[in-house]
Each structure stands twice: as structure tokens, then as C-alpha cells.
Amino acid sequence: MTAIVNVSLKTGVLDSQGKAVHHALDSLNFKGVNDVRVGKQIVLQLTETDKDKAMAEVTKMCEEILANTVIEDFKIELI
Amino acid sequence: MKVTILQFPGTNCEYDTQHAFESLGATCEIVWHKAESLPADTNLLVVAGGFSYGDYLRSGAIAKFSPVMKAVTEYAKKGGKVLGICNGFQVLTEAGLLPGALKRNDGLHFISKHHTLKVENNNNIFLEKLNNGDIVNIPIAHHDGNYFIDEAGLADLEKNNQILLRYTDAKGNIQNPNGSVSSIAGICNKDKNVFGLMPHPERAMELILGSDDGVKMLEGFLAS
């Protein structure tokens, strides 16, 4: 099973990289963008085959190391 | 006085830190991150600056799982004195020994220059040789020095006098180089035995190098 983890700064925490990218898009005349958030994606190949167990395990990984929950949110997708 | 300095792969300020504390008369020992215990005679543990584990994932994120960090946490919980400088500050927040987190500088640039800081709370061993309101000139050198804490956390820091230093201009007016919440440059824990700051006092020990304001800061640890 593959787990795709998306980590991004929490809403309310200023995302300077997102802001810079937004500014760049604006300079390139892409005017239809309201907001940009930059995050990172971590892809894990798991040995676990049970979805619930995999979700529980990856959630633990996110809380312990993959994300810093003081400033970041995470979303897990299993495929 | 025995100062133990941690060394992770990617640490690069351990020898400056050793030089600084030795110039004040302390004995130093550099301890590799694989160690599972700290020298028993340690009076101060310093997590030195640098780029532990190449800052992979997040600054300080991987270092917190090094074998030595268990011993560091135990040492801190027992009241042992711990100082984290720059990457060391990032490691201590990641390890949960200090509140908050350090994120990318608002301007996205690595900043390397001297900066003036205002002493906010000197009722702790680190800054007891200085007065509240004193201005010190200390180098900063970081990419992820943008201190973040939520509003409740900030109120806690204020209430318990945990804010040690703020970035200011030479007159003490707020001047924020990196976007830190409340212009915070350094904090301590509630018990006032764990200290963290982004600026480098160990690089401000000799006037010929631009400032010796770091002497009064680090001396605080020697007096205790």
C-alpha cells in the first residue's frame, strides 16, 4: 500500500514561500489566484495491507516526525 | 565548570562554542550524538549551531531522535541547565523542551549579520549579568529563525517572563529581521533551566571580531 502524506503550514501561520510564489504568479500575469500555500509531499511504501491499521500507523508517524503539529497540518491519502 | 557540547552530523559551531567557554575558564567536552549518556560532571549542556542532518525534513526534526537526546531530556527534566544556540534552539523546540517552533524567515533569505537585541528578562542564570533593557550586539546566521507560537503560548511566555531577548535596533525599538512572533530572538522554559536563542553569543567573544557582548551572556552560566 502507498501512503501519500501532504504537510503544509496551518491556516493562520504565515506561509512566506506561498506568498512569494503568489507574487511571482502575479508578476507573470496569472491574475486569477486568490491564495497560494506551499507544502511538501512524502510518499511512503507500506508493508501493511489493512487500510485502518495503515492509517493509524501513518498518523502516528506524522504526529511524531513527519509534521511539526505546532505549525503544520497533515493529510494522509492511502492508495 | 564543565560544559558538554553536543555534536550531530552537520553541527558546525561546536568548536566555536568550545573556544568561547574555554576562554571563560570552563572545561569542555564534545559529545557525539550516538552517546547514550552525558558526562556525569556536566554543569551545562550546549546544543550547538549548524545544520544537523542537513536540516532534512525540518531544522532539528531528525536530531531529536538521536540516541543522546533521551539523556538530554532526562538531564533537563532533572533541572540540568541546557542551552540551544541557533540549530540547537530548533532541536530543543522539536524535542518539546522549549515551546513554539522555528520556521523559514519571512524574507526567505538566509540572514548572516550582526543584530542588536534587547534583554527582556534577566531573572535567569543566562542573562543575570545583564540588565533588562540592555542592548547587545550579537551575530545572527539562520534561514529558519522565524519563531512561531500561538497567541495562548505567547501570553504564557509573557506571563512567566520566558522571553529572554527581542530583535531591536540599537536604541531598543523593535526591528524584526525574520518575522518572529513578537520579534522574539530567545526564550527559556518555565523552570528557567532550558534556554534557546537564534543569535550566536559564542561568536561575540572578542572585540576584534566585532563584539564581545557574548561574554556577559555566557558568563551567567559560569557564575551558577
A contacts of B107 (beta carbons < 8 Å) = 16
Other C-beta atoms closer than 10 Å to the C-beta of A35 total 8
CB atoms B108 and A16 under 8 Å: yes
CA gap B124, B206 in Å, rounded: 24
Cβ burial of B87 (10 Å; 0-12, 13-18, 19+) is buried
In this prediction, residues B81-93 reach a mean pLDDT of 98
Q: Which of B86, B120, B188, B219 is catalytic?
A: B86
Element (H, E) at A41: strand A39-45
Nearest to A18 by CA among B59, B103, B142: B103
B contacts of A23 (beta carbons < 8 Å) = none
Active-site residue flag, B188: no
> Angle, to 10 degrees, between the axis of helix B213-223 and the axis of helix B14-23?
70
For position B157, what pLDDT does the model report? 98
Q: CB of B124 within 8 A of CB of B103?
A: no
Q: Could you tell me the pLDDT band of residue B166, with boundaries at 50, 70 and 90?
A: very high
Amino acid at B178: N
Residue from the list A14, A20, A68 with its beta carbon closest to the beta carbon of B94: A68
* Cell numbers describing residue B63: 536530531
Task: Judge whether residue A26 has pLDDT over 60.
Answer: yes
Those residues whose C-beta lies under 8 Å from the C-beta of residue B46, and which sit 6 or more positions away, are B3, B4, B5, B6, B17, B21, B82, B83, B84, B85, B88
CB atoms A13 and B103 under 8 Å: yes
Q: Is the dihedral of CA B72, B76, B81, B82 positive or negative?
A: positive
For position B224, what pLDDT does the model report? 57
For position B223, what pLDDT does the model report? 74
Write down all domains in chain B, each with its CATH number in brackets: 2-223 (3.40.50.880)
Task: Judge whether residue B49 has pLDDT over 80.
Answer: yes
- Is A70 an 8 Å CB contact of chain B? yes
Q: Per residue in A28-55, pLDDT tens?
A: 999 999 999 999 999 999 999 999 999 9
Q: Which CATH superfamily is domain A2-78 in?
A: Phosphoribosylformylglycinamidine synthase subunit PurS (3.30.1280.10)
Active-site residue flag, B114: no
Provide the percentage of residues in chain A whose pLDDT is more than 70: 100
For position B154, what pLDDT does the model report? 98
Mapped onto helix, strand or coil, the DSSP state of residue A14 is coil
Residue from the list A16, A17, A70 with its beta carbon closest to the beta carbon of B100: A70
- For chain A, give the longest Cα–Cα distance: 47
B29 beta partners = B4
- Is B143 an 8 Å CB contact of chain A? no
Chain B residue with CA closest to A68: the answer is B94
CB atoms A68 and B104 under 8 Å: no
Nearest to B5 by CA among B44, B53, B59: B44
Q: Per residue in B184-205, pLDDT tens?
A: 999 999 999 999 999 999 999 9
Residue from the list A17, A66, A70 with its beta carbon closest to the beta carbon of B104: A17
